[in-house]
Amino acid sequence: MEERRVTLKSADDKAGNFRLDNKIAVVTGGGSGIGRAIAQTFAANGAQVCILDINQTEGKLAAEEIIADGGEAAAYQCDVSKLESVQNIFGEILERGRIHILVNNAGIAHVGNLETTKESDFDSIFRVNVRSMYYCMQACIGHMKSSGGGVILNMASIAASAGLADRFAYSMSKGAVVAMTYSVAKDYLSHKIRCNCISPARVHTPFVDGFISRNYPGREAEMFKVLAQSQPIGRMADPKEIASLALFLCSDEAAFITGTDYPIDGGFFHLRG
């Protein structure tokens, strides 16, 4: 029988070193919450991060924190739901060089069922959660094609595939995100462009705290516990946990992964009683 020898890889070659050195990463909604955690994690692993956020103050603070920690970042005020704003900002970024990674994270939420969702709310959700991703992907896809490839990561949600009460418009928008992800992955496979999406369950962000305080004044602690325990694992995710998955999927270690929707939900989809 032929003898086979296995050579152990050096520490630098081991999986887990998900470096993004010399890569430019655009993160929409990068001024707070999950987007901010992704921007920080990418920068800590060598990426030059371009933070796009409609809130100029939050975007600038996020970039300054990264720079203070020794990373590279720049903040751009951008309303990703408006084509002109997206085109202007992406044009400015492309003057710096190649865009290697696009993370479409910006989005808004809405509570309501079919009957209680107003047309204006439906249109607003679609404009921010769906059309913005179309604008951003279209703004850089040609550049990625001509530059030899790239990675696109879209932020979806378990709402896209699990039935959630009073999330009619939001679920619609995230279902569209998953479908767009599959389509882009298929159409641009030959151009070495990978496209995946992440579907988190509830994540503890400032948005969640604000939602609870607005809707359940005086019952904040009680409702936080209820929402946290709706995940079988018994808690909400930390934004850094979502960022870690994003880092892997955007790294070269994930070069064999495209056209995939990754749930990160504490067992919500499959383990609910």
For the chain, the straight-line distance linking the first and the last C-alpha, in angstroms and rounded, comes to 51
Per residue in 163-189, is it b (16+ CB within 10 Å) or e — as a string?
ebeebbbbbbbbbbbbebbbebbeebe
The two tokens of residue 85 are: 């704003």
Distances (CA, A) of 86 to 28, 131, 265: 10, 11, 31
CB 36 within 8 A of CB 239: yes
Between CA 38 and CA 52 the distance in angstroms is: 12
Of 76, 134, 135, 170, the active-site residue reads 170
Between CA 198 and CA 196 the distance in angstroms is: 7
The reply to whether 76 belongs to the active site is: no
DSSP character at residue 225: H
The C-alpha R_g of the chain, in whole angstroms, comes to 19
CB 178 within 8 A of CB 261: yes
Which are the catalytic amino acids? Answer: 170
